[in-house]
Structure 1
């Protein structure tokens, strides 16, 4: 599949490149003949395992955060402060929901940019399944706003506020795309527990998409991948 297999990323020799179809016994994606970054795979593996150790069951899902097409390039796109704000607002939304069980959020994220003047973000979110087990309705309410109390609407409000838009702004449509299952074409989510190898295999496959070298601008003083640290 690969005719040339350097061991390190040409723009950052601390990043190890990975060319196999499995990592630690779990399936991973090789996208557009672009190797994966082993450092990111290891962090993904660690974060997924940590969630399963801490929760009886874990609700996992993948989303992509996009800036509005009409939004002009500005300083907000030069670093990841907007993503930090998103997580702060989203965690506040989770706390405000006052669920019976603690959500215990964990995450992986990747910053990518290809064919656009603005970047976008890929996320994998991990929540205590006893607190949340679905994303809810994706579409806005009849008034065009994202005011429902489901997970998707909470994420949309958080992303709008992170970009300094009003949380009840009605002119934006689904700036958060929910990733689809590569086999069924339906929105992907999974319930993980420490004894379910198949669910973990599926989650590692989905997480590995965040670990690809393709479309990541490396070594420009901006992080392109990270995870929760709890």
Structure 2
């Protein structure tokens, strides 16, 4: 493996698979350290819930920099986002339990990548793992509904300290954004990992500015 030119603590991965799981070769090379963390996260999520629901999404900052919170260019914003989202899931599961005592609970495991694209615009690629027995849909992409799409938008609004209406256009749901992954279904794991490997690519990540380019739940 080659070392990353701007961060020698990281190794680059050029192969088309990682630990038997496919990666998006055209987006390589990948940071091997991040692939390891992503795989470990998936395995940990499956150990908690043998069927998991994974969501891939993108988070952008407002183009009007005057509306940014003071710490917008740090990773504090993504930490606030996930703290808010986890709280919303906790509240929703408590509500579901009050209606039906047999309702399933759900942990929230997550990963994110911080990238700088053209025009030095910072953005994040995010992933969340939920219990598939509790959640299996993003829901309608319409503000005001009680669903996972709204939880993502509301959490990003909270992180940026802006109205929900302004945050809606900053949360992007890409194609092939959701996956059901089963502990005994290797194909479902391969399908997800290939798609999710995108956030582990070496390109467009910056180092040496005091901000991590990748982060995930501690398992």
Normalised by the size of structure 1, how large is the TM-score? 0.85
Q: Are 2:2 and 1:7 aligned?
A: yes
Q: Distance in 1 between matches of 2:167 and 2:193?
A: 31
Contact 2:52 2:129 in 1 (8 A): yes
Tell me by how many angstroms 1:133 deviates.
0.7
Q: Distance in 2 between matches of 1:14 and 1:51?
A: 26
RMSD: 1.7
Residues 173 and 226 (structure 1), Cα distance of their counterparts in 2 relative to 1, 3 Å cut: closer
Counterpart of 1:104?
A: 107
Q: Distance in 2 between matches of 1:31 and 1:119?
A: 22
Tell me by how many angstroms 1:205 deviates.
0.7
Q: Partner of 1:43: helix, strand, or coil?
A: helix
Normalised by the size of structure 2, how large is the TM-score? 0.90
Q: Distance in 2 between matches of 1:26 and 1:170?
A: 39
**Deviation string for 1:158-213 (max 9, x for gaps)?**
100110113xx4345432111213xxxxxx31111111111100111122101101
2:85 to 70, 86, 90: 90
Q: Partner of 1:61: helix, strand, or coil?
A: strand
Counterpart of 2:129?
A: 126
Q: Distance in 2 between matches of 1:105 and 1:95?
A: 9
Contact 1:86 1:162 in 2 (8 A): yes
Q: How many residues align?
A: 210
Structure 2 residue runs without a partner (length 5+) = 97-102
Contact 2:12 2:32 in 1 (8 A): yes
Q: Distance in 1 between matches of 2:11 and 2:106?
A: 33
Q: Which structure carries more helix by proportion?
A: 2
Tell me by how many angstroms 1:75 deviates.
3.8
Note the 1:12-161 alignment, pairs <5 A.
12-32=7-27, 34-72=28-66, 75-97=70-92, 98=94, 99=96, 100-138=103-141, 140=142, 146-161=143-158
Deviates more, 1:95-104 or 1:77-86: 95-104
Structure 1's consecutive aligned runs of 4 or more residues displaced over 6 angstroms after TM superposition are none
Residues 114 and 218 (structure 1), Cα distance of their counterparts in 2 relative to 1, 3 Å cut: same
